[in-house]
Structure 1
Amino acid sequence: MTEQATEQTVRRRKVFYIPGYDPIHPRRYRELYRKESAAQAAISNYEIAIAPKTGGGAYGWSVAATMDDTPVAAEIEVLVWSDIVRGSMSDSIPATYLQLIRTAWTYIASGTLRRLMWMRKGPVIAALYPVGMLLLQLALAVIAGAVAAGLVLWALNALLGLFSVGIGLIATPLRWIVIAAVAITILRWFRKKDGKFFAYYLMHDYAYSARWNGANPPELEARMAEFGDLIAGAFDGGSDEVLVVGHSSGAHLAVSILSDLIRAGRVPQGANLGFLSLGQVVPMVSFLPKAWRLRADLAYLSTRDELAWVDVTAPGDGCAFALCDPVAVSGVAPANQKWPLVISAAFTQTLSAARWKELRWRFFRLHFQYLCAFDRPGDYDYFRITAGPRTLRDRFRGRQPSKSRIDVAASKHTSTAP
């Protein structure tokens, strides 16, 4: 398919949203879309409303919008892999600390951690955060246990001293029993409160990729094949555009899914296929030694005319590799690379000073800002892209990449086959 020269008005669109490493039911994305689309419509003066999805298939919702005097209908489906995520998240505290050791060793021994730090400190700090937080929790638990044991032994000695009796041989085992009991209680409390700390959640996230050294586990490969079938089926549904949105870890899943579809000839000639990657963390996986499939798919997809690929990040998002061209930094950029177009959501410009001040230190919330309303929107507007009358290709045609784009090869591991 050659680059289209004329714009095509979109009346019907099929959107597939691939979330990141998220164990929560996909209804959260529906509610987020409902709330934030209404907020953006009020700011940008257009009409948009959602309704329950009709028919079978993946979980999703319908969108009816009027933008630029054009009515548009969109069907949004969430490609769910939260069950796989939940299955990978151990509830065991000892197992999580074992993951910590194994994950840290994988990233350090492979040289990946050092290479990642060459580009963006933010996501590396985010990756180190669960390690530091879990070690801090363990240290506090042990210290508290030691203090409690000292107090127990002192009180027991004082009590028995009244009867001229010492605690003798039971002192040492009693000390360790108290330390263990207090430490376990405190660690369980931290685990219960992880919705505030995110230490266990993030540890499971990074451990999932590290466990396989960048390769996809079999159950994930099988699910990605199912996703590919759903996307391929959408080309026969009469939509003017099929749009795939990959957020966070979902971005690199989308890279491989779309590469498989195009290689297999499952994208029809003349189809409008868009790929929007948001807040991507591709280097966290593509820099690992056995990420051969992902590196090969990055190189392949970056040259294809069958799709338009726009990559949106923001320096204000400390959990993403902001403005890092995922193909180039992975060391697999071919000479004829066309994609992705790397642009910035520029939070400091597209959010008012008051809104930016409110969100600046809410790192996890900022990682989802791409799916939310902007009170000073620029050319990136998630709701215009998913429910507006222009295709992704047309909307960003002629747009230059961000001047702050990082496109220097940084990965130590660049092979695309074993």
Structure 2
Amino acid sequence: MTADRHDDGPEPDGQAPSGTGKVMKRRVFYLPGYDPIHPRRYRELYRSEGGKQAKISGYRIAQKAAQGDRFGWMVRGQTGRDVTVAKIEVLLWSDIVRSSMDTGVLGTYLALVRTVWIYLSTGAFRRLTLLGRGPVLAALYPVVALLVQLAVALGLAWAAGALVSRFVYPGAGWIVALPLVVLILRGFRRVDRRLFAYYLMHDFAYSARLRGAYPPELEARMKQFGTAIAAALASDADEVLVVGHSSGAHLAVSILADLIRAGRVPANGPALSLLTLGEVIPMLSFLPDAHRLRRDLHFLSLRDELTWVDITAPGDPCSFALCDPVAVSGVAEPDRRWPLVLSAAFSQTLSDEAQEAMRWRFFRRHFQYLCAFDRPKDYDYFQITAGPLTLAERFAGRKPSINRIDVAVSGYTSIAA
């Protein structure tokens, strides 16, 4: 099936939210995607964009540093008379990302060959094309870009070698050509902060290298994350909200599935909420050895211990917009509860000027979920993280997007351990 989609800080001051069922204290755990950058940029993004959204939407929000060993910050939000204090923590795995990217030029090209072979030989790439053009083009971009860079390097080196052989010393051209290929490719890598070819190639290669299984170092880190979330669930918070962005979405799914299976979600504890943003789950769940992820998707979709809302947007070319990750992975039951699949509808919630400014800034669009909207509807990242309503209350009665894709597409559906 091919589907085209359209948009349809400070400490508490003792004032409790008015009414019942409102959130006075919230713990937020943010799981970033495959990102080697220091998490301070998430703190500064929250500060700048939260201030913009508060001004647009007419509420107050203040932020300050949080105490503790893990990186985070405190937020105080006030909507009318309702005051909510949230502690937001970033669950760090950027060191794992940096380590996986430290392979050199040759290692990157070997990863390219291996990754392309895995996706083509398993049929996963063909099935991913059925979910939309955006993420498929995003996946093809680093492959094409790196091959073009190699062609340019070889072409220039051949030309230089031919000139040396003709005008300097016959047959000596290769002495110049081989080092020149290396120098040119290294030059391309040095400017990858603008091109993102190496970054994206390592992103896809890291997910694919074990054919969909989580690497051991990531499994170990996920257990640490689970311990932190379990501690919050045993606190006096009113809500524990886990936010998984991009590649962080499937990590969040597996972490919460583990916690529920282990009985670490108390029945009378804080409300447990999962918000997945700009997810790329099919890139992993469509691979043959992603048994663990598919099992976790299946399990979590049936549970009543949590609320799971999935937000994407057709305007984000780096996510699988409006794809129900459980359904397209082929593990949905007829009576499943989650996720509630909704659109951030950039074409409706952002001004024409804002959309034009992001027209060719694909990564900026992928991060828009964490930013301010000119014409916000019910999706407001700052109200969700620092407002008075739980995720369940905020989206109570909300129907899923009518343009969602909720049919099985993956060729691999096994959830066996």
Give the alignment's TM-score, normalised by structure 1: 0.93
Between stretches 103-112 and 88-97, larger displacement belongs to: 88-97
Q: Write the letter of the residue equivalent to 2:260.
A: I
CA distance in 1, matches of 2:342, 2:143: 31
Q: In the alignment, which residue of structure 1 is the partner of 2:216?
A: 218
TM-superposed deviation, 1:258:
0.2
Q: In the alignment, which residue of structure 2 is the partner of 1:267?
A: 265
Q: Secondary structure at the match of 1:93?
A: helix
1:19 and 2:43 equivalent?
Answer: no
Q: How does 1:224-239 map to 2 (within 5 A)?
A: 224-239=222-237
TM-superposed deviation, 1:67:
1.2
The answer for unaligned runs of 5 or more in structure 2 is 1-18
Q: In the alignment, which residue of structure 1 is the partner of 2:157?
A: 145
1:111 and 2:123 equivalent?
Answer: yes
1:69 and 2:73 equivalent?
Answer: no
TM-superposed deviation, 1:181:
2.2
Q: Write the letter of the residue equivalent to 2:333.
A: P
CA distance in 2, matches of 1:151, 1:175: 7
Q: In the alignment, which residue of structure 1 is the partner of 2:250?
A: 252
CA distance in 2, matches of 1:285, 1:149: 43
TM-superposed deviation, 1:247:
0.2
CA distance in 2, matches of 1:154, 1:412: 55
Q: In the alignment, which residue of structure 1 is the partner of 2:334?
A: 335
Write the deviation string for residues 4-32 of structure 1: whole angstroms up to 9, x where unpaired: xx961011100000000111111111011
- Contact 2:161/2:177 (CA < 8 Å) preserved in 1? yes
Q: How does 1:8-407 map to 2 (within 5 A)?
A: 8-54=21-67, 56-156=68-168, 167=169, 171-172=170-171, 174-270=172-268, 271-407=270-406
Q: Secondary structure at the match of 1:51?
A: strand
CA distance in 2, matches of 1:275, 1:379: 16
Q: In the alignment, which residue of structure 2 is the partner of 1:164?
A: none
Report the RMSD for the aligned CA atoms in angstroms: 1.1
Write the deviation string for residues 257-284 of structure 1: whole angstroms up to 9, x where unpaired: 0001111111111330110000000000
Between stretches 383-392 and 355-364, larger displacement belongs to: 355-364
Q: Write the letter of the residue equivalent to 2:411.
A: K
- Contact 1:12/1:74 (CA < 8 Å) preserved in 2? yes
TM-superposed deviation, 1:246:
0.2
Q: In the alignment, which residue of structure 1 is the partner of 2:10?
A: none
TM-superposed deviation, 1:91:
3.9
- Contact 2:242/2:274 (CA < 8 Å) preserved in 1? yes
CA distance in 2, matches of 1:69, 1:357: 37
Q: Secondary structure at the match of 1:118?
A: helix
Write the deviation string for residues 205-258 of structure 1: whole angstroms up to 9, x where unpaired: 000011111001111111101100100000222111000000000000000000
CA distance in 2, matches of 1:7, 1:71: 13
- Contact 2:234/2:266 (CA < 8 Å) preserved in 1? no
CA distance in 1, matches of 2:166, 2:63: 65
Write the deviation string for residues 147-168 of structure 1: whole angstroms up to 9, x where unpaired: 2222233332xxxxxxxxxx4x
Q: Write the letter of the residue equivalent to 2:237.
A: S
Q: In the alignment, which residue of structure 1 is the partner of 2:4?
A: none
CA distance in 2, matches of 1:69, 1:377: 21
CA distance in 2, matches of 1:273, 1:393: 9
Give the alignment's TM-score, normalised by structure 2: 0.94
Write the deviation string for residues 294-319 of structure 1: whole angstroms up to 9, x where unpaired: 00000000011100000000001000
TM-superposed deviation, 1:90:
2.5
Q: In the alignment, which residue of structure 2 is the partner of 1:161?
A: none
TM-superposed deviation, 1:186:
1.2
